[in-house]
Structures are given as C-alpha cells and as structure tokens.
Amino acid sequence: MLSRVDGFDTEVPWENILSIGEQQRLAFARLLVTHPSFTILDEATSALDLQNEGRLYQQLQSTKTTFISVGHRESLFNYHQWVLELSQDSSWQLVTVQDYRTQKAIVTIPSTNSQIKIDDSSQDKFLIQAEISTVEGLSHKEMNALTYYFVTTIRSKASKGESIITRDGFTYRYDKDPKVLIWVRV
C-alpha cells in the first residue's frame, strides 16, 4: 500500500487508488473493528472471489453484528437464514433460505424419456426418476417469453398459486403436482 502513496499521513482519493475488491475488504475490516450492532451490506462482496467472500462473511458471523445483505450471488445464501425477494410487480415474499432454494428449482421435462431434470440454485445438476404421463405445459422460462413478467415474478406467482395471463390472452396456472411441475393452460 505504501508503494502506491507517499505514506500513512498522505490524503488521497482512495476510490481511485484501491480496486473495488480492496475497497470491499476494507469495508469489512471496518465492520470487524467497530463491531456495529446492525449493518446492511449492499453488493458487499460482488468484486471478490467466493473464497474471500466466504472468509469475510464467516468472520462477520462470528461477531454479534446483525446483518442484512443485498445481492445477486447465490453464494450469499450460505451466510443467511432468510430471503426477502422483492419483485418488479411490487409483490414480495419472505422465506427461509432452504424453502427459497426449493421454490426456485427450475424444472424441465425431457420429451424423449420419463426423467425430470432439475437445475437447482446451488447449480448442482441431478436427475430424478419419475413416472410422467404425457403432459403439455410450459416452464418458467417459457412463460417468461409469453408474458411481460420476469422469471422471478413467475416463480413467485407459481409458489403462491396465482394464475398468469399471457400476452395472447390465455390463462395459465402452475401445477404443483410433483410429477408435473409446469404451467398448464386453464
């Protein structure tokens, strides 16, 4: 650090000298030194690799600081108990991290065999066997293409049992039967 500036007493625009990752690590250092009771972290580790993110959050968890994180990384689930999802249509949901991960599983039905492929939020892919009758329906992504809704809003509506009207005027409901898990036309 001293090689970049003239000494500890030098006043410099740190935002121009430190990288974003260095700034984020410095912000965590401040939290760990000051021990606030409560803090909100907005994309606090977005410029860090997952290993550094993990170290910082683990250190923060060992303090008595209550923290809320705002972010897009799924790895943040590892350091929290709850997820508050805000949708563009002003709807929201507060669920446990485990329930949120289960809700957000993307399900597609291959047409050539009787397996369901699930791509869950931890990005681990696995296949489960299921007996599936021939069902015509749409995935969340396919519904996204037919509506003005984002996939997160479509998932939220599915979890609440709400129907969706597509741009062409057809109404769909989400079939939560574990053997189906698709949007079907009403």
pLDDT in tens, 80-106: 999 998 888 888 999 998 888 887 764
* Closest among 143, 145, 144, 156 to 92, alpha carbons compared: 156
* The pLDDT of residue 149 is above 50: yes
Render pLDDT for 17-29 as a digit per residue (tens, 0 to 9).
888 999 999 999 9
For 147-163, what is the mean pLDDT? Answer: 85
Q: Highest mean pLDDT: which of 3-17, 64-78, 101-115?
A: 64-78
Bridge partners of 116, per DSSP, are 128
- 46, 73 contact by CB (below 8 A): yes
More confident residue, 102 or 79: 79
pTM over 0.75: no
Q: Which pLDDT does position 133 carry in this prediction? A: 33
Q: Which pLDDT does position 118 carry in this prediction? A: 41
- 129, 152 contact by CB (below 8 A): no
* Closest among 76, 65, 72, 151 to 106, alpha carbons compared: 151
Q: Which pLDDT does position 9 carry in this prediction? A: 83
* The pLDDT of residue 129 is above 50: no
* Closest among 122, 87, 125, 120 to 106, alpha carbons compared: 120
Bridge partners of 94, per DSSP, are 84
For 113-121, what is the mean pLDDT? Answer: 41
**What does the domain layout of the chain look like in residue ranges?**
14-80, 104-185
- Give 14-80's CATH code, choosing from 3.60.70.12, 3.40.640.10, 3.90.1150.10, 3.40.50.300: 3.40.50.300
Strands of the sheet with 125-129, listed across from one edge? 106-108, 115-119, 125-129
* The pLDDT of residue 128 is above 60: no
The tokens describing 18, both together, are 């430190």
* The pLDDT of residue 123 is above 70: no
Total Cβ atoms within 10 A of residue 38:
8
| CA dihedral (153, 159, 165, 167) positive or negative | positive
